[in-house]
Amino acid sequence: MPPTAPDRPSAAPTAALGLALAAASRGLAVLPLSRTKLPAIRSPHRDEPRPARRCRGECGRIGHGVHDATTDPGTIRELFAAAPWATGYGIACGRPPHHLVGLDLDVKHDQDGPAALQHLADTHGFQLPPAPTVLTPSGGRHLWLTTPTGTTVPNSVGRLAPGIDVRGTGGYLVGPGSRTTAGTYSFAPDTPQLPAPTVPAPLLALMQPTTSRPAPSGRHPVPASGKQAVGLVRFVLDATPGGKNGTGRNDRLYWAACRAYETADRDADGIAAALIEAAVHTGLPELEARATVTSAARNARRSPA
C-alpha cells in the first residue's frame, strides 16, 4: 500500500529548510511552519492538564511555537527533522540583531492596509522609508522594519487601523519562499534587503499599547454587524486569566469565535480579527488566540446550519 501524502518525501520540506538556513545566516531566528502558517511542531504539553504557568521552552523540549526560533543551523535542522511536513518557516520578531517588527497589510474583507498606513503617515506627519517587502498570497504585503535596541513592540490586530496588523515581540512573520494553503510568500521585486530601516518615531509611538482599557466599539475593527459583534468583543475583554467553570480567556474566545462563524456569515472573519485583538489585550498570547479562532472556525463550519 503506497504511503499517504504526509509521509511521502517531497521537495517542499527540503526547500523550506534551505530557505530557513539562509535566513538564519543573516541573523534571523527561524522556526518551521505548516501549510496553515502555524508552527509545524505540536506542543509537548498538548495532552497535559492546562498548566498554571505557560511553558515557553523551559522544559527543554521543542514545540513551543516562536520560542523555538533560533539562528543555530544544527538546531534548525533538528526542528525541521521533527516536522518533515513543514512547507515554510517563520521569522521571530523582536530578536537581536535586527529587532524586526513587521507590518502586515491586508487587502481582503473590504480592507486596504496599504492605504490605511498611508493615511496614518499623512495624519501623523511621517514618511515610510523603503523597507524589505514580502508579498502575501492574498495580495497583501509584509513590511520589515526595525526598532531601537531595548524597545518592545507588542503584537496587535487592527489596532493601528483596519487592515494593519503588527508583528512584534513574541510574534513571527511568514518567511519569503514559504508555501501555504493560500499560496507562496515571496519578496517583492527590487525590494530593499536587510538591514531594515528604523520605524519612524510617530509610528513607533502609535504601536505602543494604550494605558487605559479601550472601548470595543472604538479600538477594535468590528465590522458593521451591530450589537452582536460589539457584544462578542466585550465578552472576550471581560475574561479573566484561568477563570472558573469554563469562563477563562481561551474558553471565552473560542465560544465567541464559534458564535461569529455560525451567525455572522460575510463579516465573520472581520469579527474574528477583533476577537483576537481583544484576547491579546487580556494577555492571551497571539499565537494561542489565532489557533483558538482557527479551531472555532473549522468546527463551526462543520456544524449543520
**118 and 74 both lie in a single domain:** no
Kindly report the average pLDDT of the chain as a whole number: 80
Asked if 172 and 133 sit in the same domain, the reply is: yes
CA distance 30 to 202: 29
Domain boundary residue, one of 184, 207, 230: 207
> What is the rounded distance in angstroms from the CA atom of residue 115 to the CA atom of residue 128?
12
> What dihedral angle (degrees, nearest 10) is formed by the CA atoms of 246, 266, 286, 131?
180
pTM: 0.68
Domain residue limits at 151: 100-207
Among 207, 226, 244, which residue terminates a domain?
207
For residue 255, what pLDDT is reported? Answer: 82
Residue 110: how many other CB atoms lie within 10 Å = 12
Our count of domains for the chain comes to 3
pLDDT band at 280 (very low <50, low <70, confident <90, very high): confident
**Could you tell me if 107 and 203 lie in one domain?**
yes
Closest by alpha carbon to 91, among 22, 154, 148, 153?
A: 22
Is there a single domain that holds both residue 74 and residue 117? Answer: no
Distance of CA 298 to the CA centre of its chain: 18
Are 11 and 70 contained in the same domain?
A: yes
Helix or strand (DSSP H, E) at 174: strand 172-174
Q: Identify the weakest region by mean pLDDT among 112-116, 205-209, 293-297.
A: 293-297
Termini Cα distance of the chain:
38
Could you report the per-residue pLDDT of 127-165, keeping only the tens digit for each? 999 999 999 998 999 999 999 888 889 888 778 888 899
**Domain boundary residue, one of 41, 66, 92:** 92
Phi-psi region of 99 (alpha: psi -120 to 50; beta: other; left: phi over 0): left
Q: What percent of the chain lies above the pLDDT cut of 90?
A: 40
Q: Are residues 75 and 122 in the same domain?
A: no
Do 134 and 200 fall into the same domain?
yes
The set of cell numbers assigned to 227 is 450589537
